[in-house]
Amino acid sequence: MSKLWLSSLLLIILLCSFTLNSKVKPTILTGKVIGIMDGDTFKLLTKDTTTVKIRLANIDCPEKKQPFSTNAKRFVSQAIFNKNVTVQILKKDRYRRLIANVFYGDSINLNHQLVKNGLAWHYVKYSKDTLLQSLEDSAKKNRLGLWQELNAISPWQWRANKKEASRLKKLNKNKD
């Protein structure tokens, strides 16, 4: 009975060890940035000449027509356009974009730089990254970038407000 118990325990330990060590490692991709869509999305031409759309992970830049949208896009353009970058792919989103951390220059994290300079929000709905939160808190404290605005509206709230305005417009149109 004790041999069976010991064998079962050993099997459980081995399975737990295998499970803990079998986390999927993020995929690394390199290529040249050939297009900037906005502050947090761009097109990458890979070495095998495939074009992929990359969305920066765990952050959200201002939407078009939102204050500091142009600043975020300009920052990203200056940092990575027409340059080679390393992309750490974390997953694919519902729009088939690759969600990733992006590194340029001498291993500079683009995601972090946008938040640090007040050009993006830490997207807390999808991230618990304490460094990103610290960078955002510091940018707020120092009133950098979008934090110069007294009532800066997050992109997700901006989108929700636009969606609600559109819904109300349709509702009022149907009443007439």
Query: How many Cα atoms within 13 Å fall on the side-chain side of residue 128?
Result: 0
148 in any annotated domain: yes
Q: For position 82, which CATH number holds?
A: 2.40.50.90
74 in any annotated domain: yes
* Type of residue found at 53: K
41 in any annotated domain: yes
Yes or no: say if 76 and 36 are a contact pair by the CB < 8 Å rule. Answer: yes
Host domain of residue 145: 27-163
101 in any annotated domain: yes
Active site residue 149: no
Active site residue 159: no
Active site residue 136: no
21 in any annotated domain: no
Catalytic residue among 74, 96, 97, 143: 97
Nearest to 58 by CA among 104, 120, 148: 120
140 in any annotated domain: yes
The tally of domains found in the chain comes to: 1
More confident residue, 86 or 170: 86
133 in any annotated domain: yes
More confident residue, 71 or 169: 71
Catalytic residue among 55, 94, 143, 159: 55
- pLDDT tens digits for range 94-130: 999 999 999 999 899 999 999 999 999 999 999 999 9
The Cα 100–Cα 80 span in angstroms is 14
The Cα 79–Cα 156 span in angstroms is 25
- pLDDT tens digits for range 26-65: 799 999 999 999 999 999 999 999 999 999 999 999 999 9
Catalytic residue among 63, 94, 136, 159: 63
171 in any annotated domain: no
